[in-house]
A and B are shown apart, each in its own frame.
Chain A
Amino acid sequence: AQSVTQLGSHVSVSEGALVLLRCNYSSSVPPYLFWYVQYPNQGLQLLLKYTSAATLVKGINGFEAEFKKSETSFHLTKPSAHMSDAAEYFCAAAKGQGAQKLVFGQGTRLTINP
C-alpha cells in the first residue's frame, strides 16, 4: 500500500528565511505527487504537482518541490518565507495524474516568526 510521510508536524521559521517541508513516499512505482496548503477552517488549495514531466516543479506563491527517486522524496521549499505562508501543508500521492485516490501525509504546520 502506498503511504506518505511528512517529517515534522510543526516547522517554525523566521520571516525571510528558507522554508523546507519534508515529504517521503513509499511506493514501488513512483506515484504522482502533490503539495496542498490549508488555511484555518478552509479546504485545500493545490500548490504544485509532480507528474513525471520534470523533477523540479514550480508552484504558486513562490513554492517549488524536487522529486528525487533515489531518496523517494518530494520536499517543498521556498527561498524566503512570508507571514502569509503560515498554514498547514499536506503532501499527497496518487497513482495516475488524475489523483484517483489521494493518500495524504500527516501534515506540517508552518509558523512564521516576525
Chain B
Amino acid sequence: GAVVSQHPSRVICKSGTSVKIECRSLDFQATTMFWYRQFPKQSLMLMATSNEGSKATYEQGVEKDKFLINHASLTLSTLTVTSAHPEDSSFYICSARRGSNQPQHFGDGTRLSIL
C-alpha cells in the first residue's frame, strides 16, 4: 500500500509556458503533501507543504506566485509552475502522508525542461 503517483513524468516546453504537475495518493487519503525540487547531483529541497483544504506553506525563498500549489482533495495536489523559464528546469518530486506521525511516501518525480 501507500502508492503515490506523479504525472507527467517528463515535460519539455517553451519559455513562458505554465506547467501543471499532479500528485495523487492512489490507495490512501493524504492529509499532507510535500513538494520538493532536486537539481542535478544535488539533494532534495523542500519547496512547500500542502494541507488539504488550506493554503500551502512555502519555504523561505520559494515564490508562491511562481509555484502555485492546490490541494483540493485528500488524494490530489497540483503544482503549477507559472510562466516557466529555463532556470525553473529541474526534477520535481512530491510526497504524501496519511496524517501526523505517519511516514512520507514519494512519487517518481517529474523532470521539467524549459527551452
Tell me the chain B residues, 7-50 only, with Cβ under 8 Å from chain A.
9, 34, 41-46, 49
Name the interface size band of chain A: 20 to 34
Assess the A41–B100 pair: CB atoms within 8 A.
no
CB distance from B99 to the nearest CB of A (A): 7
Question: Known interface pairs A43-B4, A90-B43. Does A99 touch B109 (Cβ–Cβ under 8 Å)?
Answer: no
Q: CA separation between A105 and B38, bound complex, in Å? A: 12
> Once the chains bind, are A42 and B109 in contact (CB under 8 Å)?
yes
Complex: how many Å from CA A42 to CA B5? Answer: 11
- The residues of A that contact B107 with a CB separation of less than 8 Å are 43
Known: A90-B43, A90-B44, A101-B46. A43 touches B93 (CB 8 A): yes
B43 touches A98 (CB 8 A): no
Q: Is A31 an interface residue (CB 8 A)?
A: no
Could you tell me the distance in whole angstroms from the C-beta of B89 to the nearest C-beta in chain A? 14
Chain A CB within 8 A of B97 CB: yes
One of B6, B43, B101 near A43 (C-beta < 8 A): B6
What is the 8 Å Cβ interface bit string for chain A, positions 90-110, against chain B (1 contact, 0 not)?
A: 100000111111101111010
Which of these, A90, A97, A102, A109, contacts B46 with CB under 8 Å? A102
Query: With the chains together, A36 CA to B105 CA distance in Å?
Result: 11
A102–B104 contact, CB under 8 A?
Answer: yes
Q: Is A44 an interface residue (CB 8 A)?
A: yes
Asked if A98 and B99 make an inter-chain contact with CB atoms under 8 angstroms apart, the answer reads yes
Nearest-CB distance from A14 to chain B (Å)?
23
| B-chain residues with CB within 8 Å of residue A106 when the two chains form the complex | 42-43
> Considering the chains assembled together, what is the distance between the CA atoms of A57 and B22 in angstroms?
34
Q: A41-B111, A97-B101, A98-B97 provided; 20 other pairs, C-beta below 8 A?
A: A9-B41, A36-B106, A41-B91, A42-B108, A43-B6, A43-B93, A43-B106, A44-B93, A45-B106, A46-B105, A90-B44, A98-B101, A98-B102, A98-B103, A99-B104, A101-B46, A102-B104, A104-B43, A104-B45, A106-B42
Residues of A within 8 A of B (CB): 9, 36, 41-46, 49, 90, 96-102, 104-107, 109
Chain B interfacial positions (CB closer than 8 Å to A): 4, 6, 9, 34, 41-46, 49, 91, 93, 95, 97, 99-109, 111
